[in-house]
Structure 1
């Protein structure tokens, strides 16, 4: 593997080898990774949708959600747990192309499948009870996520210590890219006079706590965002491809392969999940996809964590909208005796829906913003 980034930029050996590999791969291999995963996911998802529809495994609609969702015959008769098709499709494609030869990527695959198992257990409970509030309790679900994430980062740390898959524990904030772009916008050249520079923070073993947090937080963030047809799948497709590019440029080609394959699988799932959806991914899909995003960045190293959160900024905004909504309601109720809301409804996509935007418009706007975040995230990775 190439060297981890130094001082906010990739080391010279890393840059040389990564550029040589990427020059060949970007026009061939990554497209193959994406395409194979896309078709595996599309075929598996289509078949699973038919089976689940015959079994009447329909998604219970959340009572607290928008009224038009509960009233929609389309949504109330839509099968769920589509992650059972899409997630293994992406993992299989990645294992085929990496030949299961990279221990770190194999660990990411296992972590992803364990998050899939947590989500499937939750989906199964909801389907059996025909109640969206059934399934795993929030505490049990979070405990399971933390347990899997902790075990995963333990493996990453062990692989790094054994020099099998070295991980940089220096977290790099690529603000220098912003400074350079600002200077170029104002003067037409990069002068270094803006004062906006990159920041590198050496975290040592604390990095692994941050890595576990990234895995769990991304898992829950994607889960929160999965509330409109095609939203989570589209954003994941974009985010995985962007993260794959970051990994390729940083010299971690196997992790890049996994990420791009998962992006292809997410895009393939849109065959059944685009509006009007004929199947939802359920917690099986959302928990696993989010966990996979965090796991890739965690296994890559500190240089990938900040770009991850930039790339997935829409997911971050979605989960923060829920946190702020609940916090503001509790605080105002304690102060005034009456709880008040910051948003019409949380998460953010429902707030926009209740503001008069149609479902397709909300998804289109958020996906467009997600694409912008992905480009910025890739840019700051080299900052």
Structure 2
């Protein structure tokens, strides 16, 4: 790690570091890791952030010490009901102050919103090694497969497509050239094949009729090669024009649909509308600021359910820190909601898939709402 980065501000993903190699978090392990990092990087300004549920997940013997750390400002928790839990809060702080993030998480659901996660030196990981202590190293996050597929698809769409007229001209050019060369070759062969005629001598004492015939015989003494070239010239010109005409006819035919590929490429390159976004599965995985759910469905959802309301939802997919839940709304349609792992039990499970199954229908409780992104946070009822 460079000296500049080592002395920079560092935001510690406390819940992640405290749970490294463990099932439940440990405040003692977190404290040990932070002290080891500061010892290795003197002058680093460290900010430790943990989930709001951290206090209830650590052993009972550490809760008093955790309360003191909160009062002393040594540890920070996100506001109650914050969408995205501690991860979103950590990345917002690091983004605002250009800080290094100390975490072994890849923040896959936030990679689209914070592309700087892939900048060298912005993400540092750490693990305790027996007999050695804590070892820290710069790392790159594991890329979200969905974001990677979208990037590849966008690259294919943006790649310039060769105009159809140009392709047709390329195909026609070799045929036209071959057709032009063929008559010339045939003319050359004909010229070589014909023998040179010898002029007959003119008889002096013959009658006028014989003299005229002799004159006619002498007149075409023009070289046969020249005669063959004259005969072959119109054929070669006709043969040259024919492929050119065929290429000209082919060009309009292929040029006609040229507009279609261009329109298709433009449509693919254009940003998706909200309606198109909502058709894709697991929309809540994308953490950009665009709305997750269509406004009509989300408005009906809010009208039917207040904070604390209970209803049934279906588990669609999982993220690294929770699950995506779809809820049916009156009047037709569905909205996608997010259920963080911390809200799936007391104590919370290590993974959402430990208590939920894909396709399972369970009772959930509405915890918080983000009107700007049109998404709701749920907890198991």
Name the TM-score class by shorter chain. Answer: under 0.3
Q: Which has the higher contact order (CA 8 A, sep 6+)?
A: 1
Greater share of residues in helix:
1
Which entry has the higher C-alpha Rg, 1 or 2?
2
Greater share of residues in strand:
2
